[in-house]
Structure 1
Amino acid sequence: MTPESTVLMAAYNASMNQKLYAAAARLPHGELAADRKAFFGSLLGTMNHLLAGDTIWLRRFATHPAKFSALAGMLDLPAPSGLTHSFGEDLAPLLAYRQRLDAIITQWAAQVSAADLAQTFEYHNTKGDLFHKRFGSVVQHFFNHQTHHRGQASTLLSQAGVDIGVTDLLVMVPDIDAP
């Protein structure tokens, strides 16, 4: 990861989440809550998992030695009870929390430096195990995790007859002038 790719991934994340929630809003609640045999059951379960995962990681990132000011409030938020934590069973509260997290992620990404990404990052997983990894690799996992589960959500929407539209990162990669 580079600082530039971190900013790009944050923008991509926010854009795709907007598309995901807009597409999900076209379904009745019963369709959102229906068990579709996905990793986290329903579309709402998958969306809740994304919120839980992002909250867990952002709370961890708030402990980085760089003390990112954009993450200062993350430790004031309640820690999710686990990876299946529910932030609600209706789309509106999930959307409000999603938008809050995406704004924090966007602000944080702009604060990340190459030196921050190169540092060793210490964190505990949800089982309490201690890890030491390069922060840039952990940030890469953070964004990959989001993309992975949004892909699942996109499939669930498609199965319900809703097209989320183009989801390729390449659309957001800036063109450069040819030599």
Structure 2
Amino acid sequence: MADPRHIVLLAQYNAWMNAKVLEAAARLPAEALTADWGAFFRSILGTLNHLMVADLLWLRRFRTHPAGYTTLDPVMALPPPTRLDEALYADLASLAADRQVMDTAISQWAACIRPCDLNHVLAYTSSTGTACARRFGDLIVHFFNHQTHHRGQVTTLLTQAGQDVGITDLVALIPDEAP
């Protein structure tokens, strides 16, 4: 079950991991970023683009929640995707700049979520055109899980390209509360 405290933690983890992945990717030549590594979205840049596409789709949907979430307005100014495999960014630098805007908005949005917001049933249209209605808290869990799933793929591709991302475990951000 989603909890506002957990959502804030996941937003922090999201920004931390995206920064680590982008830092590792920036050490590679452009050819390595666009090479077909056999992944679902083929390349490192292709997978990073997919993460941006999916985040844009979900955050645009989340903006329609009755709570308003005006903290997501900067995301609304980013280019709207039309396909899940769309290459919104041809290079890492432009993707990284918008990723920073996105991650800042996600962190600010996460801090605004109230427990009463989570049970709202959010109606939206899927990328295939299907009408859907799902509990908002569950969609938030999916949102962060999707990011972790594809970042795991990128981390593997970066490792294959000779770049170590370092520690990737969420527990690294959970405060130690030992007496």
Same fold (TM over 0.5): yes
Aligned to 2:48: 47
Does residue 1:175 correspond to 2:176, yes or no?
yes
Where does 1:68-87 land on structure 2 (aligned, <5 Å)? 68-87=69-88
Instruction: Give the TM-score normalised by the residue count of structure 2.
Output: 0.96
C-alpha deviation, 1:79, in angstroms: 1.8
Query: Which stretch of structure 1 is more off in the superposition, 120-129 or 34-43?
Result: 120-129
Gap change, CA 1:25 and 1:73, over 3 Å in 2: closer
The answer to whether the Cα contact below 8 Å between 2:75 and 2:102 also exists between their aligned partners in 1 is no
C-alpha deviation, 1:132, in angstroms: 1.1
C-alpha deviation, 1:173, in angstroms: 1.1
Cα RMSD between the aligned structures?
1.1
C-alpha deviation, 1:160, in angstroms: 0.7
Count of matched residue pairs: 178
In structure 1, list runs of 5 or more residues that go unmatched: none
Q: Deviations over 1:101-158 (max 9, x none)?
A: 0010000000001111121111110122111111010000000000000000000000
Gap change, CA 1:77 and 1:162, over 3 Å in 2: closer
C-alpha deviation, 1:73, in angstroms: 4.2
Which SS does the other structure have where 2:118 is aligned?
helix
C-alpha deviation, 1:50, in angstroms: 0.4
The answer to whether the Cα contact below 8 Å between 2:74 and 2:101 also exists between their aligned partners in 1 is no
Supply the distance in 1 between the matched residues of 2:161 and 2:58 (Cα, whole angstroms): 30
C-alpha deviation, 1:75, in angstroms: 3.6
C-alpha deviation, 1:85, in angstroms: 1.4
Supply the distance in 2 between the matched residues of 1:19 and 1:107 (Cα, whole angstroms): 20
The answer to whether the Cα contact below 8 Å between 1:87 and 1:93 also exists between their aligned partners in 2 is no
Aligned to 2:25: 24
Instruction: Give the TM-score normalised by the residue count of structure 1.
Output: 0.96
Query: Which stretch of structure 1 is more off in the superposition, 151-160 or 168-177?
Result: 168-177
The answer to whether the Cα contact below 8 Å between 1:47 and 1:153 also exists between their aligned partners in 2 is yes
Structure 1 vs Structure 2: percent identity of aligned residues?
50
Does residue 1:132 correspond to 2:133, yes or no?
yes
Supply the distance in 1 between the matched residues of 2:79 and 2:33 (Cα, whole angstroms): 25
Amino acid at match of 1:88: Y
Supply the distance in 2 between the matched residues of 1:130 and 1:23 (Cα, whole angstroms): 38
Which SS does the other structure have where 1:80 is aligned?
coil
